[in-house]
Every structure is written in structure tokens, then in C-alpha cells.
Structure 1
Amino acid sequence: MGVKTELTLKQLCQLFPKYDFKQIIPTTNGIMDTTYIVKNSSDAYILKKYEREMGKKVQTEQALLEHLLTCKLNTPQYLEENKGWYLYTKLQGSMPKTTKLFHIQALARFLAEFHNQSKDFTNARPFLAAYEINKMLGFVKKNHYAYYKKLSCVKNIRQKEEGFIHGDIFKDNTLFHKNNIAVFDFIDGGLGEFAFDTAVALLSFNPKNRQLFTRVFLATYNQKKKRKITPAELQKQRNTAAAFYALLRINHDKKTKRAKEMYNAS
């Protein structure tokens, strides 16, 4: 579900009166926070309420989005906040149902430019610091021991802090319009390793012809990056990312179905 806190159109207009909103639409994607699409007579926007303790994450994301806006990357613009509700611009496009070669190329171009720009954005916590990995492994050990044996390697993850990574570029955090990609929800990002960031993205954009698409991705990404990612490095990080997100899914879902899908995607 994309909505945990309900909001009426009247309440929305009281929060942000200058926008003269006419419609509020609940979303179904997302498992952590409340997200609405809100519209007035001329534009559509994204309205979010974070349903967890965020600390400085919101301020970090706002600073990052402001930086990326100057770089002309297709990311949302933060507009304003009132009583814990955050308003952003809505990006154009739709989430792809099937992965095509041009999706992979657009993804690679975006990540290469994003990493070029985010390498100097160091005012953030390490990506892994937000996750209680040992606590999550304890739950899996107690309740799903067979998976614990597969996922216990996660406790040894060590990431170089090459710059700010999104860390969660799954399909539902992207939109495509023609050959252009838009990426959103940087809220859980942090300092980490660029190869891990690319591996996470490729886990979601996981086509049947994976070898071809991975070669095309690396060729496109490395063309725009000084620090190249090798196929072996990407595969190692793909295994790490698959185990990490399988661990997160078991802890969130309290069952293994979605974790199995993620683990097998590596």
C-alpha cells in the first residue's frame, strides 16, 4: 500500500492553499511511507508523509535534489513542507512493464552522470548505517534458518564511500518517457560504493537475456566514467545486493517468498 495516513482534499488545500488543488489520488506502490498524487488545474505533484523516524535524511535528500537540479538530471524538485507533509514535483513517464535495451542504456547513462555528480556530495551518513544488519540476521536465524545460512554473508559487507548512492533504484523508483529515464526516492540513500548502486538497479531491471543487457549496461556506463566497473566487480556486487535485499524483505514481510525472488535474481 502507498497510503498509511489518510488525507482529504479539504485538508490538503488547508496545508498548501496557494496551489489550489482539485484532486488527491492515493498510490498503491511503496511499503514504508504515505504517497499521494495531487493535482490542480495545470500540474500534478507528489505528496509524501514519512511514516518512520527520518533524522536528517529529509534535509540530506533536499540538498541532494537541489544539487542534482543544477546538473539537469531528471529527478524531482522539493517544493515545501507543512506539518510533516512534503510536496515535490511529479516527473513525467511510466514504469516499464518489460525491460528493453533502451531502458538499460538510459539507466546506465543516468547512473554514470549521477555518480559523476554525487562523488563530491559527502554530507550524508553511510548507506549501510541506517540498517540494523545484525538484528535482521538474528530474526532470520531464529525464524528461517535455511535462509540465515545463505544470507549470513551480509554481516561482512564493507563499502567504500565513493560518494552518495541511491541504493534503491528498483523499477518502482523510475519512470520512462520515450528514451528518457526519471529517478526518484533518494531518501534512503547514503555514502557507498558505486558498483553496489549499479548492481541494485540491475537486479530489478533483470531481463531474460541478462548477459547481453549487462554488457550493454557496462559499455554505456563506463563510457561516461573515469573509474570503470568490471564485469567481475559487478557480479560480486550483484550477489551482495541480492543477499542484502533478500534480508530486508524477509524482515519486512516476515516470510520468504519475495526474498527468494530477490536471492535468485543474482
Structure 2
Amino acid sequence: MAVYTEVSDDELARFIDGYALGQLLSFKGIAEGVENTNYLVHTTTGTFILTLYEKRVDPADLPFFLGLMEHLSGGGVTCPLPVHDKNGRVLNQLAGRQAALITFLEGVWPKQPKVFHTLELGKALARMHIAGEGFALKRANALGLAGWRPLFDKFSSRTEEICGGLHDLIADELRYLERSWPQDLAQGIIHADLFPDNVFFIDHKLSGIIDFYFACNDALAYDVAICLNAWCFDANSQYDPAKGGALLEGYNSVRQLSQAERAAMPVLARGAAMRFLLTRSYDWLNTPKDALVARKDPADYVQRLEFHQSVGDIADYTAQLTS
């Protein structure tokens, strides 16, 4: 989430008038995230999130994202729901952008995840994968393996502005991933961006999952690998095997990873680290200086990628490596 497009009081008031939500009381921009413009909106009937979809989002994907939230909610996943306007629409225009209102979920995201967080996350991720079955719409992963090299080509000449040696690290790893990427793993709907700021807790209980705007069809185990990267490293990018073990335990308690998925996990984790290294590098170099958005340091994913390169087996994610 972020703010790229400014919305005036009058514009938003007219927009809210199209919904049965009472009068607009207040709104403010949300700086977290990198993809769309988001505002926290208060009306006389409640609190909502307003999302304006920026240029990097294909408008043709919006029915997938919004329909998926309704489908998952129907399958027992606690997630936001798109709000229908007075004419039954969930998509409208605001400030020259496609825009939607979604319901607000209570809870706090864990800024310093603990073992109980990753255990609950693993269970919730598996439930989400199961609930995604039967969703009629399809969306390819635009930031999957096939998209990594073209993205790298967009900024490869500027990698030294981020850190020394980054060009060769990425180039070498891309060659490895392109020849080693696992095939024929179980496929389904994945979240593809399940970072701590997209998961809410109340006390020790997971209260909801948000931000489905990277969701797509891909290998289910790749979603687990993304979470290993996003949740199981500390502030210094040192891997915590207790968190990783709890994540895998929680997932397996709901949906058992197959032998093929287990064997593929180290490569999938390297791929997940590469995906976020690439997108964070691109955004680091190209985010407008006047955007109300928190840039995320790509260097974190250099260290995570290097860790995964040392892993030989999924069991290594539950035990401290000594090498």
C-alpha cells in the first residue's frame, strides 16, 4: 500500500455518495507498501480502505483480485470484502484511476514476528490454498520465473548504485534458477506477497489476511517459500530456524507438503528471494521522489538469497546450519 495519487476532499465525498455508507468523516493516506494508492476512510457507518489502482496494475486483473476475496471469504478465510455501490458495482473511477472500497479488518500486524506468529501463519496459508480451490478465474504470475530476466534487464546497468557485485550475483542466480526451477508441483491460488504487514493478529490469534493484489495461479509451495523469506529472518537478515520450523509445522498440519514440494523448497526459496530482490531493486531506483511511499532496501534480499544458496534440504529450514 502507498500513496501516489492525491484525492481531494470534494472528489472523495462525491465518490462516497455513490455507496450506502453515510457521509464521509475523514480520510488519510497509507504509506506502507509499493503498488497502489491507499487511503483509510471513515464514514458515518464505519471504516474502509480505498484503493486506487496505479499504472502497474492491469485493469483486466481487477475482477480476479476482487472476486478472489469474495471467494476466499466464502471458504472461511478472514479477508477484506469489496463493497458494492448503490448500483451493485465494486469498481468505479476516482481521480483518473480505477478505484474500489474494501472492508476494514481489525488487528495489528507483527513488526517483529515470533514463533507463534509463524505457526499461525502456516495454518492460515494452507487454509487459504484449500479455500482457493474452485475459483473460476485464472491469473498467471506476472512476477514469476519468466518475468525475472526482463525485469532485471530494465535496471541491470544501474545495479552498482545499490551495492557492489549485485549485477553478477543476480545474473549468476538467474542462470541457475532458469535451469533448475521445479516443474509439475501442485498448482492453485497463491497470495504471492504474504509479508507480515499483510497479516493481522489480535492477541495471539490471526485475525485476517489482506492485500491480494499479487495473487495468482502458481505452485502452492512457492507461497510457502515466499513466507520463509518474509517471516523467518530477523532485522539483520539472519535466518531463525525456530520460526521456519513453526511455519512448516503449521502448514503441514492443514495441508501436507508432498515429497516433490519438500524436495523443491530450497530452489523455491531462492526464487522467492530473487523475485523480491529484483522488484525492490527496481523500485529503489525508480520510485518517484515525491511519492508518499516507504522504499524497501534490496540489500536484505541479497543476504537472504545467499542464505538459501547454502541450504541443501527442507530439513535445514528447521535446524541451525553450521556451515
Q: Distance between the aligned counterparts of 1:236 and 1:147, measured in 2?
A: 16
1:94-142 Cα shifts (integer Å, max 9, x gaps): 1212111221111111101011122333521221467743322223543
Of 247, 259, 269, the residue aligned with 1:217 is 247
Give 1:166's aligned residue.
191
CA RMSD across the alignment: 2.4
Match of 2:66 in 1: 62
Deviations 1:71-100 (A, max 9, x none): 121111011332122100011111212111
Q: Does 1:81 align with 2:91?
A: yes
Secondary structure of the 2:130 match is helix
Aligned pair partner of 1:149 in 167, 171, 181: 171
TM normalised by structure 1 equals: 0.89
Residues 148, 142 of structure 1: alpha-carbon distance in 2 compared, 3 angstrom cutoff: farther
Q: Equivalent residue for 1:252?
A: 283
Contact 1:105 1:216 in 2 (8 A): yes
Q: Distance in 2 between matches of 1:10 and 1:55?
A: 25
Change (3 A) 1:42 1:16: closer
Q: Which has the larger radius of gyration?
A: 2
Stretch deviating more after TM superposition (169-178 or 130-139): 130-139
The residue that corresponds to 1:34 in the other structure is 37
Q: Match for 1:262 among 294, 301, 306?
A: 301
Q: 1:94 to 1:198 in 2, by over 3 A?
A: same
In the aligned structure 2, how far is the partner of 1:135 from the partner of 1:46? 33
Between the aligned partners of 2:32 and 2:198, the Cα distance in structure 1 is: 9
> In structure 2, what is the Cα distance between the partners aligned to 1:13 and 1:45?
14
CA contact (8 A) 1:35 1:48 kept: yes
Aligned to 2:292: none
- Matched to 1:12, the amino acid is L
Q: Which residue of 2 aligns with 1:134?
A: 149
Inter-partner Cα distance in structure 2 for 1:149 and 1:233: 21
1: CA distance between counterparts of 2:7 and 2:35?
Answer: 17
Judging changes above 3 Å, is the alpha-carbon distance between structure 1 residues 103 and 129 closer, same or farther for their aligned structure 2 residues?
closer
Structure with more contact order per residue of length (Cα contacts < 8 Å, sep ≥ 6): 2
Q: Residues of 2 paired with 1:107 and 1:239: CA distance? A: 20
Counterpart amino acid of residue 201 in structure 1: C
1:186 and 2:204 correspond = no
The equivalent of 2:9 in structure 1 is 9
* 8 Å Cα contact 1:151/1:247 also seen in 2: no
Q: Deviations over 1:173-226 (max 9, x none)?
A: 222222124211112211101111011122111245621222222122111114
Residue 176, structure 1, aligned to residue 198, structure 2 = no
Q: After alignment, is 201-210 or 234-243 more displaced?
A: 201-210
State the SS of the aligned residue for 1:3.
Answer: coil
1:223-234 matches, cutoff 5 A: 223-228=253-258, 232-234=263-265
Q: Show structure 2 runs of 5+ residues with no match.
A: 84-89, 160-166, 287-295, 309-323
Q: Is the 8 A contact 1:222 1:228 kept in 2?
A: no
Q: Look up the SS of the partner of 1:192 in the other structure.
A: strand
SS at 2:3 equivalent: coil
**Alignment partner of 1:124: what SS?**
coil
Is 188-197 or 233-242 further displaced after alignment?
A: 233-242
Change over 3 Å in CA distance of 1:105–1:219 after alignment to 2: same
Scaled by the length of structure 2, the TM-score of the pair is 0.74
Aligned residues: 265
The one-letter amino acid paired with 1:174 is V
Q: Which moved more, 1:226-235 or 1:238-247?
A: 226-235
- Conserved? CA contact 2:41–2:49, under 8 Å: yes
